[in-house]
């Protein structure tokens, strides 16, 4: 299979969009279900290709296919029930304004063709058929996927499966087309007929493409889900009550998937008199070197760790040797002052199995970190019931995170209708949007109000009254 040119891929998707503009919610649901069924049928084969390309391991990858099909079906179920993107009506009220008004009906139209960029670390859940494609298709949009160079064979296979499944559901196959290449990715965002972008990836890549979207003659919405320095803070009471358990949970979470999660606990804050950091450091020698997704990612991780080691006030702890794509986990201890320096290497995401561990003397010091004016995807507080510090920490994190976790770890984003996966910049480019959960479809649906719209011009196909 060869990649389409950008012009060709966009034009074909645009034509499919024209035909699909007034698709019924049931028809969109059928498309999503057809894709989910096809993926489930080939889960083992797909996970095997993904494992060869990513080294993420079969259990994780088979599980990720299941998560992806669950997500597709969640949108399908909601479309059938009329519980997303359903028209809502304000019936006419006779009399003069402001009380009196005509009949207003709010409907949601597809925004148009959506460009989707997936990330290296979730070949299924944030890939060709991940949340961005699922939510765009749910909103009635055609999708042009930028295939990821970290899993080229898998990407092509997924595109092929999706196109066949779309056609199998009686919809235009070109509702999903794809392109490949860095230059092509930039051209895709600039292409006239693209009306929105869903991006999951690095801050640098996301920002470069966001700027292209914003600088077009006709700027378009760019929904970028980026990297994040997710904080985890432990109160004094929690450190006293269950320090060893917290140390173990921290190391497990920061090394899950070889640390290649946007939600990894990037910054741990513990009271200065606790032994949690020592206990976490003691676990490092028991951990093997980990195979990272690509040689480039391993090189960048190694360079990131080297930059941290060269930073004043910073100590890098690594137990085993690293070479090539085999990288050993690292815990980085640092002075609070070094972390608070905005120019410090500590303030950049180091994508891979590492985390920064800091200590605080009193809650006000911890709040200096928690109150930084930078968005994060998720933050966690470990505390006890009636903990005097927990309330302050929770409220501080809530000001800058999309998700706040009590007595848990940031890794693991449940697929549920009300999930919020995003956050203020630089965690994401649109702080009010989520890329996981049913609300993700709202990014690609454009509200229109029909005022006194003549009933005989309504498209019954596109209207499903909200199921009460």
Give all strands (DSSP E) within 34-120, no chain letters.
88-90, 104-110, 113-117
Q: Which of 92, 182, 310, 337 binds ligand NAP (CB under 6 A)?
A: 182
Residue with Cβ nearer ligand NAP (75 or 210):
210
- Binding residues with ligand NAP: total (CB under 6 A): 27
Return the exposure string of 145-160: e unless at least 16 CB atoms fall within 10 Å of the residue's CB, then b. Answer: bbbbebbeebbbbbbe
210 in contact with ligand NAP (CB under 6 A)? no
d(C-alpha 48, C-alpha 52), whole Å: 6
Among the listed residues 22, 186, 241, 287, the single contact to ligand NAP using CB under 6 A: 186
The residue with its CB nearest to ligand NAP is 205
Site for ligand NAP contains 195 (CB under 6 A) = no
Q: Quick check: is 380 catalytic?
A: no
For residue 310, give every residue at least 6 positions away whose Cβ sits within 8 Å of its Cβ, in sequence order, or none.
345
Among 69, 200, 274, 354, indicate the residue that binds ligand NAP (CB under 6 A): 200
By beta-carbon proximity to ligand NAP, the closer residue of 390 and 430 is 430
Q: What is the CA radius of gyration of the chain?
A: 24
Contacts of 83 (CB under 8 A, 6+ apart): 438, 466, 467
411 sits near ligand NAP (criterion: CB under 6 A): no
Q: How far is the CB of 265 from ligand NAP (least distance, A)?
A: 13
Q: Is 409 in the site for ligand NAP (CB under 6 A)?
A: no
Q: Does residue 400 interact with ligand NAP by CB under 6 A?
A: no
Residue located via tokens 């794509």: 325
Identify the residue among 25, 112, 130, 227 touching ligand NAP (CB under 6 A): 227
- Cβ 225 to ligand NAP, closest distance in Å? 3
- Hey, CA dihedral for 128, 195, 436, 264, is it positive or negative? positive
Tell me the CB-side half-sphere exposure of residue 298, using CA atoms within 13 A: 17
The catalytically annotated residue of 141, 147, 262, 442 is 262
Task: From 34-42, 197-205, 229-237, 271-279, give the range in contact with ligand NAP by CB under 6 A.
Answer: 197-205
Instruction: Name, in order, each residue with C-beta under 8 angstroms of 245's C-beta and a sequence gap of 6 or more.
Output: none
Q: Which is nearer to ligand NAP, 13 or 283 (CB)?
A: 13
Per-residue x/- mask for ligand NAP, residues 434 to 453, rule CB under 6 A?
A: -x------------------
Stretch that binds ligand NAP, among 171-179, 196-204, 323-331, 355-363 (CB under 6 A): 196-204
Is 351 a binding residue for ligand NAP by CB under 6 A? The answer is yes
Site for ligand NAP in 120-159 (CB under 6 A): 120-122, 126, 146, 148-149
Q: Is residue 141 annotated as part of the catalytic site, yes or no? A: no
User: Which residue in 208, 316, 336, 463 binds ligand NAP (CB under 6 A)?
Assistant: 208
| Candidate list 226, 269, 356, 366; residue touching ligand NAP; CB under 6 A | 226
Hey, is 376 helix, strand or coil? strand
Residue-by-residue DSSP string for 23-58: --HHHHHHHHHHHHHHHHHTHHHHHHHHHHHH---H
Q: Does 231 bind ligand NAP (CB under 6 A)?
A: no
* Contact present, 202 and 228 (Cβ < 8 Å): no
Is residue 22 near ligand NAP by the rule CB under 6 A?
Answer: no
Q: Which of 225, 350, 380, 442 is catalytic?
A: 225
Q: Which of 349, 387, 389, 442 binds ligand NAP (CB under 6 A)?
A: 349
Number of Cβ within a 10 Å radius of residue 217: 6
Binding flag, residue 205, ligand NAP (CB under 6 A)? yes
CA atoms within 13 A on the CB side of 310: 7
- Site membership for ligand NAP, residue 266 (CB under 6 A): no
Please report whether residue 209 would count as binding ligand NAP according to CB under 6 A: yes
Residue 323 CB, nearest approach to ligand NAP (Å): 21
The DSSP element (H or E) to which 215 belongs, if any, is: helix 203-215
323 DSSP 8-state letter: B
> How far apart are CB 434 and ligand NAP at their closest, in Å?
10
Instruction: Using DSSP bridges, classify how beta strands 290-291 and 326-327 pair: parallel, antiparallel or unpaired.
Output: antiparallel
* Residue 447 to residue 445: CA distance in whole angstroms: 6
Chosen residue from 119, 138, 143, 464 binding ligand NAP by CB under 6 A: 119
Structure tokens at 180: 């490949």
Give the separation between CA 113 and CA 139, rounded to whole angstroms.
Answer: 11
Using rule CB under 6 A, residue 375 touches ligand NAP:
no
Taking the alpha carbons of 31, 35, 38, 41 in that order, is the dihedral positive or negative? Answer: negative
The DSSP symbol for 178 reads: E
**Which residue's CB is nearer to ligand NAP, number 29 or number 116?**
116
Task: State the residues that interact with ligand NAP by CB under 6 A.
Answer: 117, 119-122, 126, 146, 148-149, 182, 185-186, 200-202, 205, 208-209, 225-227, 262, 349, 351, 377, 421, 435
Active site residues: 225, 262
């Amino acid at each position: 299979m060869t990649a389409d040119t950008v012009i060709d891929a966009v034009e074909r998707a645009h034509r499919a969009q024209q035909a699909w503009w007034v698709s019924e919610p049931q028809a969109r649901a059928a498309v999503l279900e057809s894709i989910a069924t096809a993926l489930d049928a080939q889960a083992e084969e797909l996970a095997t290709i993904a494992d060869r390309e990513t080294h993420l391991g079969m259990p994780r990858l088979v599980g990720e296919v299941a998560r992806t099909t669950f997500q597709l079906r969640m949108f399908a179920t909601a479309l059938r029930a009329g519980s997303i993107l359903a028209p809502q009506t304000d019936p006419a009220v006779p009399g003069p304004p402001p009380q009196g008004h005509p009949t207003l009906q709010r409907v949601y139209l597809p925004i148009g063709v959506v460009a989707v960029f997936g990330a290296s670390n979730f070949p299924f859940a944030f890939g060709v058929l991940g949340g961005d494609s699922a939510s765009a298709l749910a909103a009635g949009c055609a999708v042009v996927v930028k295939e990821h160079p970290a899993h080229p064979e898998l990407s092509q296979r997924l595109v092929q499966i999706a196109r066949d499944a779309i056609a199998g559901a009686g919809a235009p196959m070109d509702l999903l087309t794809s392109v490949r290449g860095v230059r092509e990715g930039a051209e895709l965002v600039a292409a006239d007929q693209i009306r929105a972008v869903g991006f999951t990836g690095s801050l640098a890549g996301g920002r470069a493409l966001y700027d292209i979207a914003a600088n077009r003659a006709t700027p378009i919405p760019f929904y970028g889900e980026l990297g994040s320095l997710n904080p985890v803070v432990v109160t004094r009471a929690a450190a006293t009550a269950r320090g060893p358990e917290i140390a173990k949970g921290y190391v497990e979470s920061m090394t899950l998937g070889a640390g290649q999660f946007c939600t990894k606990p990037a910054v741990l804050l513990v009271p200065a008199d606790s032994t949690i950091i020592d206990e976490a450091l003691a676990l490092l020698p028991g951990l093997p070197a980990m195979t990272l997704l690509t040689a480039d990612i391993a090189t960048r991780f190694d360079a990131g760790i080297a930059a941290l080691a060269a930073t004043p006030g910073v100590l890098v702890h690594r137990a085993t040797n690293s070479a090539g794509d085999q990288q050993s986990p690292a815990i980085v201890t640092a002075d609070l002052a070094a972390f608070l320096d905005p120019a410090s290497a500590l303030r950049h995401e180091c994508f891979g199995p590492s985390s920064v561990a800091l200590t605080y003397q009193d809650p006000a010091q911890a709040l200096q970190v928690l109150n930084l004016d930078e968005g994060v995807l998720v933050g966690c507080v470990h505390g006890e019931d009636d903990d005097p510090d927990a309330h302050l920490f929770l409220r501080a994190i809530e000001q800058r995170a999309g998700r706040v976790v009590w007595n848990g770890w940031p890794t693991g984003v449940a697929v549920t209708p009300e999930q919020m996966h995003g956050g203020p910049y630089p965690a994401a480019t649109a702080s009010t949007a989520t890329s996981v959960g049913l609300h993700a479809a709202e990014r690609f649906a454009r509200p229109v109000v029909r005022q006194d719209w003549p009933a005989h011009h309504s498209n019954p196909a596109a209207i499903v009254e909200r199921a009460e």
